[in-house]
Amino acid sequence: MTSFLAKRGTRRAVAIAAATAIATGTLLAAGAAVGQSAFVADSHRLSGDQAGAVRQAIKGGKAKNVILLIGDGMGDSEITVARNYQYGAAGRIPGIDALPLTGSYTTYSVYKDGVNKGKPDYVTDSAASGTGWATGTKSYDGAISVDIDGNPLPTLLEIAKANGLRTGDVSTAEIQDATPAVQVAHVGDRGCYGPDSAACGADALASGGRGSISEQLLDTRADVVLGGGLASFQQTAKAGAWKGSTLLQQATARGYRIVTDAAGLAGVAKADQTTPLLGLFAPGNFPTRYAATTATVGGANTPITCTANPGRLSTKLSLASLTTKAIDLLRSSKKNDKGFFLQVEGASIDKRDHSADACGQIGETIDLDEAVQAALAFAKKDGNTLVLVTADHAHTSQIVDSTPPTALSTGLVTADGTVMKVSYGTSAAGGSQQHTGAQVRIAGYGPGAANVVGLTDQTDTFGTIVRTLGLRTDASGHGTPGHGTPGHGAPGHGTPGHGQGGDRR
């Protein structure tokens, strides 16, 4: 793909070039030179027929590794907002825009109960949408890899692990947040972060459940888990074999290596089932790349520029750095290596969009893009890796021409030197801007990536990854016959004696 190979600077100068000349090449009409008098940036992204390049980008067969990158709330509008600001309208987001195969998928969730039980709920939350791709099954808002009746569903990460692959889960959010949680836990309410969470209800160990997301994460025992959410691990187990110990103590006792800063992470050279890596770099969510801005009614009339967030973590803990570290730890040069499955989330595109924070969401999109670049760099070198980049749902931010009369808005002076007005109109000041229900982009590179082309549903991503990795879903290590809920539901599950197949302590 021409576009895939092209390298561009981060900020593009306005080129003195006639767009027509590029489009028509040698067939340019002599008289059309009049069009060349206009100083217009080169808008063209194609330099010729790309049919051959697209055909070449379609790789059949299996991949050894899959890296799934999620921009939380990264609809087409959020992508365009970030491109316009950071690279200019004619620019190219180096990773996101470089993926050669593209399509859209639908993201709706379903109602849990009442007369609409099982029917579409047109605007999903991150829990239901994550459950969709992690398990291949639609569920209700708030569900963490359980179906609408509360039954646990095997996740991609669990299935990959049971098939002998190495696994990773990376996020800039608390690692208990919905998107990272859907790969490692099964709870009825996404708020069930730790033993102290009232939201756990029947899922609490003390109630005979599978335990909180943090506790289940330790049971699931991915090789590499990197994110925020340290606070929940400082809570103390209320029941089970680890009753009375904090989750950090439990993790250490179960063989995890825990790191909480860049130096600690740099010191890790190996992560596996003997010593899985648990990196928790913030009590809650990561601070954002850019300092927060606040949209106001009429705000777009006073354009601003984004500034760095002084509270941002070390760039050694950027999403790209964590992604690179995770890949380094999961990859193997062993001949019989079965490959890896890694999920990476840029979490705060969504969170900042909720807060009508234009600079915040832009910075997080750029941060995710750097992680996409890291994943692509590995995949291109490796040649046997599927990279998928998508969102869990669309969001509120819209690019408008005029300052909207009632919606909140922010004006931004972009890389082009002109003003982009971003509108937030689904909630009032101080409220939370809403997710939206539009289909979103899914794009891919590598074997299996052709399955993103056209219109798919979020739940299809599960099947695409299962097929591309050649996973057996009946080998998930959870399907103990006679188990009421396959491998997840037994009381006491999560205690050392009942550990998952991979828990070797």
Closest alpha carbon to 168 in 446, 391, 375: 375
> What gap in Å lies between CA 261 and CA 259, rounded to an integer?
6
Q: Identify the residue among 178, 326, 388, 450 touching a second copy (CB under 8 A).
A: 450
Q: Identify the residue among 10, 38, 202, 301 touching a second copy (CB under 8 A).
A: 38
Q: Are 203 and 210 in contact (CB under 8 A)?
A: yes
Closest to a second copy by CB, 244 or 383: 383
- Considering the rule CB under 8 A, would residue 9 count as an interface residue with a second copy? no
Q: Identify the residue among 440, 493, 494, 502 touching a second copy (CB under 8 A).
A: 440
- Considering the rule CB under 8 A, would residue 430 count as an interface residue with a second copy? no
Q: Identify the residue among 153, 213, 237, 259 touching a second copy (CB under 8 A).
A: 153
Q: Identify the residue among 65, 77, 348, 500 touching a second copy (CB under 8 A).
A: 77
Closest to a second copy by CB, 248 or 350: 350
> What gap in Å lies between CA 391 and CA 406, rounded to an integer?
28
Query: DSSP labels for 444-483?
Result: EESBTGGGGSEEEETTHHHHHHHHHHT--GGGSS---TT-
Residues between 331 and 370 that touch a second copy (CB under 8 A): none
CB of 168 to a second copy, least distance (A): 22
- Considering the rule CB under 8 A, would residue 165 count as an interface residue with a second copy? no
Query: DSSP labels for 34-99?
Result: GGGGS-B-------S--HHHHHHH-B-S--SEEEEEEETT--HHHHHHHHHHHH-TT---TTGGG-
User: What are 192's two structure tokens?
Assistant: 């069930």
DSSP state of 319: H
Q: Which residues contact 340 (CB under 8 A, 6 or more apart)?
A: 65, 66, 160, 165, 166, 167, 168, 223, 330, 331
Number of residues located near a second copy, criterion CB under 8 A: 142
Does 245 qualify as catalytic in the annotation?
A: no
| E-strand stretches of 175-218 | none
Please work out, in degrees rounded to the nearest 5, the angle formed at the alpha carbon of residue 303 by the alpha carbons of 355 and 400.
Answer: 70
Phi (first) and psi of residue 232, to 5 degrees:
-65, -30
- Considering the rule CB under 8 A, would residue 502 count as an interface residue with a second copy? no
Q: CB under 8 A: which stretch of 145-153, 179-187, 247-255, 320-328 binds a second copy?
A: 145-153
Closest to a second copy by CB, 123 or 248: 123
- Considering the rule CB under 8 A, would residue 490 count as an interface residue with a second copy? no
Q: Are 441 and 391 in contact (CB under 8 A)?
A: yes
Q: Identify the residue among 453, 496, 499, 503 touching a second copy (CB under 8 A).
A: 453
> What gap in Å lies between CA 353 and CA 356, rounded to an integer?
5
For 227, the 3-state DSSP assignment is strand
Closest to a second copy by CB, 238 or 421: 421
User: What are 164's two structure tokens?
Assistant: 């002998």
Q: Identify the residue among 5, 7, 13, 27 touching a second copy (CB under 8 A).
A: 27
Q: CB under 8 A: which stretch of 181-189, 200-208, 459-467, 492-500 binds a second copy?
A: 459-467
Q: Are 236 and 195 in contact (CB under 8 A)?
A: yes
Q: CB under 8 A: which stretch of 24-32, 224-232, 346-354, 374-382 binds a second copy?
A: 24-32
CB of 86 to a second copy, least distance (A): 13
- Considering the rule CB under 8 A, would residue 503 count as an interface residue with a second copy? no
- Considering the rule CB under 8 A, would residue 294 count as an interface residue with a second copy? no
CB of 362 to a second copy, least distance (A): 13
Closest to a second copy by CB, 52 or 311: 52
- Considering the rule CB under 8 A, would residue 97 count as an interface residue with a second copy? yes
Q: Which residues contact 438 (CB under 8 A, 6 or more apart)?
A: 75, 76, 394
Closest to a second copy by CB, 267 or 474: 474
Say if strands 440-445 and 385-391 run parallel, antiparallel, or are unpaired: antiparallel
Q: Are 397 and 124 in contact (CB under 8 A)?
A: no
Q: Identify the residue among 207, 246, 332, 485 touching a second copy (CB under 8 A).
A: 485
Q: CB under 8 A: which stretch of 271-279, 344-352, 372-380, 458-466 binds a second copy?
A: 458-466
For 340, the 3-state DSSP assignment is strand
Residues between 225 and 254 that touch a second copy (CB under 8 A): none
Annotated catalytic residue within 77, 109, 126, 145? 126
- Considering the rule CB under 8 A, would residue 383 count as an interface residue with a second copy? no
Residues between 399 and 428 that touch a second copy (CB under 8 A): 399-402, 404-407, 414, 416-418, 420-421, 423, 425-428
Q: Identify the residue among 202, 266, 480, 505 touching a second copy (CB under 8 A).
A: 480
Please work out, in degrees rounded to the nearest 5, the angle formed at the alpha carbon of residue 153 by the alpha carbons of 376 and 184.
Answer: 50
Phi (first) and psi of residue 319, to 5 degrees:
-60, -35
CB of 47 to a second copy, least distance (A): 9
Q: Taking the C-alpha atoms of 474, 479, 485 and 487 in order, what is their torsion angle to the nearest 10 degrees?
A: -120
Q: Which residues contact 263 (CB under 8 A, 6 or more apart)?
A: none
Residues between 113 and 132 that touch a second copy (CB under 8 A): 116-123, 132
Q: Identify the residue among 5, 30, 198, 269 touching a second copy (CB under 8 A).
A: 30
Q: CB under 8 A: which stretch of 34-42, 195-203, 276-284, 491-499 binds a second copy?
A: 34-42
User: What are 75's two structure tokens?
Assistant: 């609809």
Q: CB under 8 A: which stretch of 11-19, 180-188, 189-197, 341-349 binds a second copy?
A: 11-19
CB of 243 to a second copy, least distance (A): 28
Active site residues: 126
